Copies of this chain bind each other. A is one copy, B any other.
Amino acid sequence: MASDEFDIIRRYFNSSELAFPIPELSLGIGDDCALLRPAAGMQLAISMDILQEGVHFLPDADPYLLGQRTLLVNLSDLAAMGARPICFTLGLCLPTADEVWLDGFSKGLAQVAREHRCTLVGGDLSASNPAHASKTLCVQVHGELPVGTALRRSGAKIGDLIFVTGTLGDAAAGLKVLRNACKESLSKLHRAALVDAFFVPESRIEAGQLLRSLASACIDLSDGLASDLLHILQASDVGARIELDALPLSAALRAAHSEAEQRRLAISGGDDYELCFTLPAENTEAMRQALGAIGVSVTGIGAITAGTDIQWRELGEPVVLKISGYKHFHSALAGVVEGAH
């Protein structure tokens, strides 16, 4: 049994699999601070996410998959700015020093850390409140990009086209599979595809870097298209027209739910961690070539307009949708796990 925080850090987190050297890192785990130095001409992009058991993940979540997801959803914020990951820090509150959980979780983290050359450089480990005994995970990712090239939310212009990578709604449908809230007849293959979409979202890190010179604005879809696109519109002071028929839906999602539910999950299910971006029409072909070359599918779903809101359209006609993104201090308090980011 790992006896204290220093033992646990040594055994599970300060391994060469997870905490490896990179050129930008002068000092990693083991002192009061880690020391970083971006390369000349580069700036750091940083983003923090806090995840809590019972809100962002189910108590019985597989620790390996949870480790992967914890880092992947944070890397998605770097992708949305076009940054290249360099390192991350990890804060953990755990009710017990559960070796099986620690082993699985740290290996899941390490798998993603190695794949993206994003090394663990520090953090904090504590016992959680003994009266509550649930896990809290906090990750901060650090990426690098040339000064002045970051993809912002604020650059969308009237007439720009709107695209999303991958397919929408799969992760939220995956969470429903985990909660046994899907069609009984759904095939094993489709179930697995949806659960995978929740735990191991496709990384759009490379796509984000390619979009730096092409897109006018970008965001990652964590709360759902309806909510996240609004952030671009507000930051850019524009509106949007979205063609509902154009939303990219996977075969698994189509097999799992009614058309109305497919659409609801695609628009407001959240957790997809796909990129939603805008670009001037003349960059479309270059963007399609760049993303095609790395095997990332992309779908045009509408255009930026004057105004301040989203106009949803179906078969070319405006429709009214009653949807919203996740509100942490509304539905979360009712104990709903689905859709917390």
Residues of A within 8 A of B (CB): 2-5, 8, 26-27, 30-38, 43-56, 77-78, 80-81, 83, 89-93, 95-97, 121-132, 134, 136, 138, 140, 142-143, 147, 150, 152-154, 218-220, 235, 327-330, 332-335, 340
Contact = CB atoms under 8 A, between A and B. Distances in A.
A53 B132 CA distance: 10
B81 A32 contact: yes
Given A33-B81, A38-B38, A150-B35, A130 B54 contact: yes
B50 A92 contact: yes
By Cβ-Cβ distance, the 9 closest A-B pairs, closest first, are A127-B332, A50-B91, A54-B129, A132-B132, A33-B45, A32-B80, A138-B138, A37-B43, A4-B327
Contacts of A96: 329, 333
Given A37-B43, A46-B34, A54 B91 contact: no
Given A32-B77, A126-B332, 16 more contacts: A3-B327, A4-B328, A32-B81, A32-B153, A34-B45, A35-B43, A35-B150, A46-B121, A48-B89, A48-B90, A48-B124, A55-B93, A55-B128, A55-B129, A124-B138, A140-B140
A334 B93 CA distance: 15
B44 A35 contact: yes
Contacts of A44: 35-38, 44
17 contacts: A27-B150, A31-B152, A32-B153, A33-B45, A33-B47, A33-B78, A34-B45, A37-B44, A44-B44, A46-B142, A48-B91, A48-B123, A52-B128, A55-B93, A55-B127, A55-B128, A132-B134
Contacts of A8: 329
A96 B330 CA distance: 9
Nearest to A36: B44
A24 B161 CA distance: 34
Given A153-B32, A327-B4, A126 B50 contact: yes
Contacts of A4: 327-330
Contact of A89 (B95, B97, B140, B154): B140
Contact of A335 (B31, B48, B131, B327): B131
Contact of A330 (B3, B78, B129, B153): B3
Nearest to A138: B138
Name the residue among A93, A147, A219 with the largest chain B CB count within 10 angstroms. A93
Contacts of A327: 3-5
Contacts of A147: 26, 37
B124 A2 contact: no
A50 B33 CA distance: 14
A307 to B, nearest CB: 20
A47 B35 CA distance: 9
Nearest to A48: B89
A193 to B, nearest CB: 26
Nearest to A132: B132
A39 B4 CA distance: 38
